[in-house]
Homo-oligomer: A and B are copies of this chain.
Amino acid sequence: MQAVLDYLKRNQARFVAELCDYLRFPSVSAQPQHKKDMRACAGWLVNHCRHIGLDARLCPTAGHPIVVAKTPRLAAPKRSEGGKPHFMIYGHYDVQPPEPLELWKTPPFAPRIVGRSIYARGSMDNKGQNFAHLKAVEAYLQTGTPLPCDLTFVLEGEEEVGSVSLAKFLKTHRAELRCDAVVVSDTDIPSPKHPALTYSLRGIIAFEITVRGPARDLHSGIFGGSVENPAMALARLLAQLRDAGGRVTIPGFYDDVAPLSAYERKQFARLPIKDCDLQKLLGVKKLFGERGFTPTEQRSARPTFEINGLTSGYQGEGSKTIVPAWARAKITCRLVPNQRPAKIRELVCRHIKKICPPTVRLEIEAGHGAEAYLVSPRSREAQAALRALEAAFGCPPVLMREGGSIPIVNDFKKILGADSLLLGLGLPDGNAHSPNEKFNLDCFAKGQAMSAHLWQELSRT
């Protein structure tokens, strides 16, 4: 084991250079013009996995390809079936769109190192994190240190667009992928001194509301006043869905929300983030959220209704005196354990249809959805993960809920029967999904050590 840790220490500079190569691919899954870049990035990953000693292959899908890479001589798929334990490491090589480009200090796909941070789209979410695991396994393989378990990497290219192909892939490759647990590093820790196991995730539903009025943009002088303005109708609609106190006003929205236990609230209170720090980090004038909950609880354990985008009429310089023909809002709701996406979607749609005025046409387009996730922090695997975290980071880990969604963990549970261990390496100022995304190189190195320890801890009987 020491040989593994030494190898990791010795090769950090090369690992960083390799990570830069990985980050140079503009692997934006949402934008059709990057289809070739997606394929190139996946191809690079397969080659890299083979190069470090894994059996890797590119698996085409209806969307972007999936990279599967296994430790050699995978014997039997499950410990219960007489083989070594088998763990899956999940990650994604696709990234969020980099727009708005003008806010990046340097180009999003030209990695740049400043101090102990590497700046690039995808550095933290998720290339840097899945690459840390690859480097830990490389250390085992290249030093000839026996792994106490079988490992399978599954690195997909559609995480940012709903993981549609992966869910199908899990079903068709269920036998090959059955495992004792899935390890996912795609979350944050509060600080490098607070390594964390995340035991719950929020779910999500996404949809678009389009309000249509006149057949075309109208002259606001000639016709304005005798026709509903679709942008105003949309604003009035949206305003009726959340109150001034931050509470969603859709009837039934909170009915199934699992209440927070006193134990959980106590754990959250241990987290080192202060309200004033959060306010500063976000650059807001004042924090805001549902009354009766701390900001930590609001953003990890309470459901939300968020507008992600608004589009209507003229958006250029100056003014254009029109009544726009239509207006659109992109919406996501974050969900918490026990809220079912289908039910919440139905409640939201029903309410919006009910309050939409008869003077406009309403279209609601459903997007992706995912359930919230919850795993007991007292399970055998969770305890093993906590030990690995402490060994790598040298300080006691904390327990967290995460406000984001990793929808695929629900599929891991449903299809493969495996719980997921969420062992994130991101920091709160990492700008995931924002301009100037960055990944901390200490977290990168400690993440590799954590991964190296993890296979030992998880494989103990």
Contacts and interface: CB of A to CB of B under 8 A. Distances in A.
Interface of A: 30-32, 96-97, 99-100, 103, 161, 188, 202, 204, 206, 208, 213-229, 231-232, 234-236, 238-240, 242, 244, 246, 278, 282-290, 295-296, 298-300, 302-324, 327, 329-330, 332, 334, 357-361, 367-368, 402-405, 428, 431-436
B220 A332 contact: yes
- Of A221, A225, A229, A320, most buried by chain B (CB within 10 Å of CB) is A225
Nearest to A307: B231
A359 B321 contact: no
A214 B283 contact: yes
Given A220-B308, A226-B299, A359-B286, A31 B317 contact: yes
Given A30-B318, A216-B435, A319-B332, A308 B313 contact: yes
Contacts of A334: 220-221, 224-225
A439 B185 CA distance: 67
Contact of A244 (B99, B308, B357): B357
Contacts of A299: 222-226
B309 A324 contact: yes
B307 A433 contact: no
- Of A214, A221, A236, A316, most buried by chain B (CB within 10 Å of CB) is A221
Contacts of A436: 216
Given A219-B433, A231-B310, A320-B97, A284 B213 contact: yes
Contacts of A188: 222
B403 A223 contact: yes
Contacts of A222: 188, 299, 402-404, 428, 432
Contacts of A242: 232, 236
A316 to B, nearest CB: 7
Contacts of A204: 221, 321
Contacts of A161: 318
Given A308-B314, A316-B31, A431-B216, A289 B404 contact: no
B317 A358 contact: no
Contact of A221 (B214, B288, B309, B405): B405
B319 A229 contact: no
Contacts of A357: 244, 288
A243 to B, nearest CB: 9
Contacts of A306: 220, 224, 229, 232, 321, 323
Given A31-B316, A204-B321, A319-B367, A232 B288 contact: no
Nearest to A242: B232
Contacts of A313: 307-310, 330
Contacts of A428: 222
Contacts of A404: 219, 221-222, 321
23 contacts: A100-B217, A202-B221, A204-B321, A208-B319, A220-B306, A220-B334, A221-B404, A222-B404, A223-B403, A224-B306, A225-B298, A225-B304, A226-B295, A226-B296, A226-B299, A231-B307, A232-B238, A309-B320, A310-B310, A310-B312, A311-B315, A315-B330, A322-B434
A434 B219 contact: yes
- Of A236, A284, A304, A436, most buried by chain B (CB within 10 Å of CB) is A284
Given A239-B239, A289-B227, A313-B308, A319 B368 contact: yes
A102 to B, nearest CB: 12
Contacts of A402: 221-222
A227 B284 contact: yes
A232 B316 contact: no
Contacts of A286: 228, 358-359
Contacts of A332: 220, 319, 321
Contacts of A324: 307-309
- Of A246, A295, A357, A358, most buried by chain B (CB within 10 Å of CB) is A246
